Amino acid sequence: MIEVLGLQKRYLVHQRGQDLRSVLRSLFHRPTEEVHALRDISFRIEAGERVGFLGPNGAGKTTLMKILCGLLHPSAGSARVDGFTPYERHPQYLQRITMLMGGKSQLIWDLPPADSFEMVQALYRMPGQAFRASRDELVELLHLAPLLHKPTRQLSLGERMRCEFAAALLHRPRVLFLDEPTIGLDAAMQAAVRDFVLAYNRKHEATVLLTSHYMQDVAAICPRVLLINQGAAVYDGDLRDFVTSIKPEKVVSLRWFGPPPANGLLQSLGLTWSEDGTVSGRIPSERVPDTVRRMLSMHEAADLKVEDPSLDDVLREAYGQGQDRAAA
C-alpha cells in the first residue's frame, strides 16, 4: 500500500543579521543554511494498517505527511502510495486519499455544512447516488443531522471538526492522513473522534496515518508507531514493544488498610509513600512479581495497580536518547 525508500527532504534557509549593514547586504546576497527535514527514511505500510507518526516539534512528521500526500517533492528517495507516486498528483490518486489537519478548515465559513458537502461532491465528481449514500452514512456516524443547515461560523469547534471529518471522507478515501485531528478539542470530543476513526477503518479497511501530540490518540488508534527524531526514523514497530524497549519497567501502586510499613522497608523495595496513603514506585519488569508478593504479605491490600509507564514519559525518554545519539 505505502512504500517509502531512502526518503530525504532538504531546505535552503536564508540567514540574515539584524544590523543595518546585514539588512542592506541581504538585498544583493543572502547566505543560506541547508536544513535536513528528513534523513533517509524507509518503511512499508500494508493496506488497512493504522500507524502513528511520533516525534517532537520539528522532527519531520508533517513534512513526511505532505510528501505522501503529494504537496511536497522529496530531495531524494522515492515514495509509492497505493501504486501511485504522490507528487505526480495523478487525479486517480487524489481521489483515493484525504488529509485532515487540525486547525485547518475546508468548510465554507458563511455556508452551512450541507452546502460544503455538495461542493466536495462537485470537486470529486461523485455520482448523486454515491454522494447521498456516503453523506447519509457519515451524518449517522458523526451525529450531524442537527448541524447540517447551520452556518459553519455558528458551530462550536467540536461540531465543526465533526463536519470537517465528514467533508474529508465523503469521497470514501482508501488512505487517511490525519495531522493533529483532535487539537483544541475537549476530552469527550477527542474520544468521539478516536471512536469514529476506528469505526471507519474497520468498515472500509482504510489505511490510517496519524500524527498527534495527544498520546491518548496514538494509544487508542495505532498499534504500530514510527518515531521520527531530527528527521531520522529511530523506531518502527509495535507500540507495546516500543514502551518496553524504552522503559522496561512497571508503575506499581498499592493502598493498604491501616498504616503503611516502615519507610526503610518500602525504600528497600524501591517504593515511596505519599500523603494520600498510596505506596508507589517504578519497578523493573522482572522484579514486579516478587515485589507485589512481598507487598501483599505485609498487610491486607485495599487497592493494587500494576501499569505500564505513560506514553508521554516514554516519549520524553526516547527523545532524549535520540538527541544523545545525534550529539555523539
Q: Is 8's pLDDT higher than 90? A: yes
According to the model, what pLDDT value does residue 327 have?
A: 45
Number of helices followed by number of strands (H, E) in the chain:
12, 13
pLDDT confidence of 328, banded at 50, 70, 90?
A: very low
Q: What residue spans of the chain are helical by DSSP H?
A: 20-26, 61-69, 91-94, 113-124, 128-142, 157-169, 187-204, 215-221, 239-246, 263-268, 288-298, 311-327
User: What are the backbone angles phi and psi of residue 56, rounded to the nearest 5°?
Assistant: -70, 170
Most confident of 8-17, 49-58, 305-314: 49-58
Q: Is 114's pLDDT higher than 90? A: yes
33-80 residue pLDDT tens = 888 999 999 999 999 999 999 988 888 898 999 999 999 999 999 999
Long-range pairs for 320-327: beta carbons < 8 A, 24 or more residues apart: 321/234, 321/246, 322/227, 322/229, 322/230, 322/232, 322/234, 323/229, 323/230, 325/234, 326/229, 326/230
According to the model, what pLDDT value does residue 90 have?
A: 93
Q: Which structural domains are found in the chain, ordered by start? A: 45-243 (3.40.50.300), 248-308 (3.30.70.980)
Most confident of 6-15, 66-75, 270-279: 66-75
According to the model, what pLDDT value does residue 323 have?
A: 55
pTM of the entire predicted model: 0.80
According to the model, what pLDDT value does residue 175 have?
A: 96
pLDDT confidence of 322, banded at 50, 70, 90?
A: low
Q: Which residues contact 242 (CB under 8 A, 6 or more apart)?
A: 225, 227, 235, 314, 318
293-305 residue pLDDT tens = 888 887 777 788 8
According to the model, what pLDDT value does residue 326 have?
A: 46
211-222 residue pLDDT tens = 988 888 998 999
Rounded (10°) angle between helices 187-204 and 128-142: 140
How confident is the model over 267-276, as a mean pLDDT? 77
193-249 residue pLDDT tens = 899 899 999 999 999 999 988 888 998 999 999 999 889 998 999 988 888 888 888
Q: How confident is the prediction for the chain on average, in pLDDT?
A: 87
